[in-house]
Chains A and B, each alone.
Chain A
Amino acid sequence: MLGNKWVVFVVALVVWAAFFYSMDKFIMEYQGLPVGADMMPV
């Protein structure tokens, strides 16, 4: 119905990756920690 399961798997990987990336970015920025200004020496 939705096509080959491996195609669905690859699409799902991309969609979940985009979702989690956006979620991480939103949460970090919500905490006042903009991603991009973060990679400073420890």
Chain B
Amino acid sequence: MKHSQTLAATAALAAIAFILPEIAMASGEEVVSILEGAPKPSRGDYPVIAGISARTIAWSLAQMHLFLAAFVLAVPLFAISTEMMGVITKDDRYDTMSREFMKITMAAYSLTALVGGGLLLALLVFYPHLMGYMIKVFRGQMLIYAALFGLESITLYIYFYSWDALRRGNRKWFHMSIGLVLNTVGLTLMFVANAWTSFMMSPSGVDAAGAITGTVWEATRNPLWNPLNLHRFLANIAYGGAIVGGYAAYMFLAEKRAEAKAHYDWMGYTSNFIAIIGFLPLPFAGYWLMAEIYAYSQQMGITAMGGILAWLFIIQAVLIGTIMLAANYYLWSGLMRTDRGAEYAKYVKYIAVVIVGGFLVWVTPHSLVLTPSELQVLGGTNHKVLGPLGIMPAKNTAVNLMLVMTFLSFQMFYRSSRVATVSWAKQGNMVIIALYVIGIANIVGAGIYGYFTPTVYKVGASVPQVTTTLMIIVASVVIDVLMLRGAKTEKVHWGRMSERSQYALFVLPVAFTWLMGLMGYIRSSLRTNWHIYTIMKDNSSEAYIPTIGEAGNTITAITLGFMAIMVFVFWLSRLGATKQSEPKQEASS
């Protein structure tokens, strides 16, 4: 694409972006009660087509769309960050990697739109009353969504295809500004879609019968909108990082050339770093979302964490524990890239003990599902020793310690290639060690404190735990940055990595996908037999919470489907870079 064409296209985009808020304002001003209330469809009003399970179809398509959308929205977010890193450090590797990130996104983008279209059709066919009502509540916003989607497509294509044309000098800044527009549009798209989802859980801008009483903005700004926005934003970063990490592992294993292996090893490390950066604050965003769910409706909160869905949180713990173990294992394996890495290897076993211990605490249920004879032997549903580990103070302590240890694994690798040269290096190390000792004691202490105080204090004490974890990370980074200024750097042998470690990188996207499917199901099921909580009842034949086994099978099938798509996308990206060799000249010619 020529520079002038790019400029013209960007100017057109800017004009559209300028007009969009006008449309949004117009839709917001239309404050009229246009409905008596939400529709009340009877069972006969739900179309039944060839005995197909409407819920399973909508569930699968919605989840698949979310997986793909999370990925294609997240990758440009960190692609622009790594592109910026390339400009700051003047290291071309960042730029090449950013472009490669986008290449994978391009392959997945059309699939996102395809599945999104499929979801819309499925909803219109199987749930026409619900969709009719939602369109009336959100009015012009749905058109804005469509316009934004068009804008997203245009900016995405320009951003990717103009990469080499706008690679150096001032043109690079222009290119990054296109990326900024792309990300702004992408995030806005997500926030709009989140408003519809969160409206179904915590409707606002309507009265108790569902009659529209407020503006579109009031319906958008419902109680769970922002907690969901933050949670999805962070989760998307972590998820996108994990998937491109899987791609890097795929390429690392497929490539034979040492140079290419070094590149994909570095890409895998960076992707894992991005995934962990997104993942570290995620439990806290999840905690906020859950707290807001409780604040909005205690019944909804108890359904999640005290009812049938509570058991799924145990599976969640298993998956998060798997992610932690895999990410840490990958980091420990990375110590072999540096000659000084072996010096740090002796500490790995202690970190492993904390992570495995934390994992075991996290998966310990508070009460057990038992047969009458087991109940008799145990003397109740709570185990005398392990039962106390099933409540939140123990789990909060476990997760915070696991996060601190994961950060420590990162720090060890970072330091393994740097030798501090400042005169106060030994003292600086002591300050960091003291920080870890006291910080960990504070996290454990706040956990124990929760056992001796009323519930309100128990919940309140989780905040200092989180803050302590963040303080350990921030203070360590600050001291490290100061201490390692002018440090003697040692060579990192990128590519000197075991093949086994690459399978840990594969574990991450699989576990993340499963986890998102599981938690998405829990969040959606909180509405129980309501399409829109307390406003519009689901009267279809499938208005019940499926058994854990049925839900688990459906989530697993969707996960497998998505992973198959991802392998296809990876293969496609590799195929695009493969060139057939020149035909050999015939000896006779």
Chain A residues in the interface with B (C-beta under 8 A) = 1-3, 5-6, 8-9, 12-13, 15-17, 20, 23-24, 27-28, 31, 33, 38-40, 42
Contacts and interface: CB of A to CB of B under 8 A. Distances in A.
Residue of B424, B430, B454 contacting most chain A CB atoms (<10 Å):
B430
A6 B433 CA distance: 11
A34 to B, nearest CB: 10
Contacts of B426: 5
B424 A39 contact: no
Contacts of A40: 453-454
B439 A20 contact: yes
B463 A5 contact: no
Contacts of A17: 438, 441
Chain B interface helix/strand/loop/mixed: helix
B460 A1 contact: no
Interface residues of B, number: 29
B429 to A, nearest CB: 8
Interface stretch (B28-36, B70-78, B156-164, B464-472): B464-472
B423 A12 contact: no
B467 A42 contact: no
A7 B426 CA distance: 11
B446 A12 contact: no
B437 interface: yes
A24 B446 contact: yes
Contacts of B451: 42
Question: A12, A23, A40 — which one has the most chain B CB atoms within 10 A of its CB?
Answer: A12
Interface string B416-438: 00000001101101110111011
A38 B460 CA distance: 11
Interface in B451-481: 451-454, 456-457, 460-461, 463-464, 467-468, 471
B464 A23 contact: yes
A20 B467 CA distance: 9
Given A9-B430, A23-B467, A39 B452 contact: yes
Contact of A38 (B424, B438, B457, B468): B457
A11 to B, nearest CB: 8
A8 B464 contact: no
B431 to A, nearest CB: 5
A28 B429 CA distance: 30
A24 B464 contact: yes
A12 to B, nearest CB: 4
Interface of B: 423-424, 426-427, 429-431, 433-435, 437-439, 441-442, 446, 451-454, 456-457, 460-461, 463-464, 467-468, 471
A33 to B, nearest CB: 5
Contacts, number: 72
B461 A28 contact: yes
Contact of A20 (B427, B430, B438): B438
Nearest to B429: A5
Contacts of A31: 460, 463
Contact of A5 (B423, B427, B471): B427
Contacts of B423: 1
Contacts of B433: 9, 12
B427 A16 contact: no
A42 B453 CA distance: 6
Nearest to B465: A24
Contacts of B439: 16, 20
A17 B436 CA distance: 11
A39 B467 CA distance: 22
Contacts of A42: 451-454
A2 B457 contact: no
B442 A8 contact: no
A15 B460 CA distance: 24
B434 A16 contact: yes
Given A8-B427, A24-B446, A13 B467 contact: no
Contact of A1 (B424, B456, B464, B467): B424
A40 B455 CA distance: 10
A8 B431 contact: yes
Contacts of A6: 430
